[in-house]
């Protein structure tokens, strides 16, 4: 008489392909591999494993913004820029002299000591409290403008393109200060770049841009009427923002649009860097009596 082995000992319990120590009787609907609860992803029927979900998403076209960037639901770049500006102002309030000495835009330090970082860091600082004039108004207005306009531009352009616009406009304002000014602080170059971008995009989309023109005009009057405001930074940011926005808006939609857009931004950056490398700080030279 022979005895048959029990089926209980012959049955192999399947385990998750990603977690071999976990028993499971659920299988991926696409690849049929066993998956544990941590690896289950809801599918139209049953569950799929993470790899099959990722593979399936490759064939799904990502939603895009109007001008080619990835669609934005939450303007995270705008909020991040707001936070950075406010934190920089807090640091400036605590250690005013140290922050301004080392990070404000100063044409002499950039031109003769090679402190290039000031071209960007100066755009995140503002008139310090106790500095006289419109100290608190300076950051309040700039942050209000970023809060009011930033989300709309970020949704139209996509987060990466909006950040590029903001930083290049800020750099353009600083380059203008380097060439024709002495020193300055503030995000106004970037904000004026946003004003210009709003106008360019409105014209491209066929919207009424009269309100934007009034906004730019009113701020231009303030720039030249109120003393102590850097017209160089405002004008440099305005021109740079308009150029970058035009690159984003008018790149042909069906012919390598992204390559043209990023190539155009790179060209703007090269021009700005070349201006600083190739030209002296004219206003500083005039003040110091340096000629040639």
HSE, side-chain direction, 13 A CA sphere, residue 134: 15
Question: CA dist 73 to 78, 124, 152, 154, 157, Å?
Answer: 12, 25, 11, 9, 12
Q: Where are the alpha helices (DSSP H) in the chain?
A: 7-10, 50-58, 76-94, 96-103, 107-113, 118-121, 135-157, 159-180, 188-205, 210-225, 231-250, 257-278, 282-288
Does 19 participate in catalysis according to the annotation?
no
Tokens of 279: 């030209």
Q: Which of 65, 159, 174, 188 is catalytic?
A: 188
φ and ψ at 122, to 5 degrees? -60, -25
Q: Which of 138, 159, 174, 234 is catalytic?
A: 234
Q: What is the dihedral of CA 92, 102, 193, 173, to 10 degrees?
A: 140
Tokens of 166: 């903001």
Residues labelled catalytic: 188, 234
């Amino acid at each position: 008489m022979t005895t048959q082995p029990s089926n209980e000992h012959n049955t192999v319990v399947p385990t998750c392909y990603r977690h071999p120590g976990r028993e499971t009787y659920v299988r991926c609907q696409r690849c049929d591999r066993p998956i544990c609860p941590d690896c289950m992803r809801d599918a139209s029927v049953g569950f799929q494993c993470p790899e099959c979900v990722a593979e399936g998403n490759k064939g799904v076209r990502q939603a895009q913004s109007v001008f080619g960037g990835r669609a934005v639901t939450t303007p995270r770049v705008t909020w991040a820029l707001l936070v950075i500006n406010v934190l920089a102002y807090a640091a400036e309030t605590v250690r005013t002299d140290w922050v301004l000495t080392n990070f404000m835009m100063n044409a002499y330090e950039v031109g003769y000591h090679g402190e290039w970082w000031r071209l960007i860091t100066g755009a995140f600082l503002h008139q310090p409290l106790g500095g006289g004039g419109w100290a608190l108004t300076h950051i309040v207005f700039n942050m209000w403008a970023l809060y009011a306009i930033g989300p709309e531009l970020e949704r139209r352009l996509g987060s990466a393109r909006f950040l590029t616009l903001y930083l290049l406009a800020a750099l353009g304002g600083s380059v203008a200060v380097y060439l024709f000014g002495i020193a300055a602080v503030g995000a106004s170059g970037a904000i004026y770049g946003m004003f210009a971008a709003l106008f360019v995009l409105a014209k491209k989309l066929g919207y009424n841009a009269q309100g934007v023109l009034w906004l730019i005009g009113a701020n231009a009057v303030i720039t030249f009427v109120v003393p102590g405001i850097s017209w160089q930074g405002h004008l440099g940011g305005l021109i740079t923002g308009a150029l970058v926005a035009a690159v984003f808006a008018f790149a042909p939609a069906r012919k390598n649009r992204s390559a043209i857009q990023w190539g155009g931004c790179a060209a703007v950056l090269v021009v700005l860097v070349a201006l600083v490398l190739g030209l002296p700080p004219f206003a500083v030279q005039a003040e110091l009596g340096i000629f040639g």
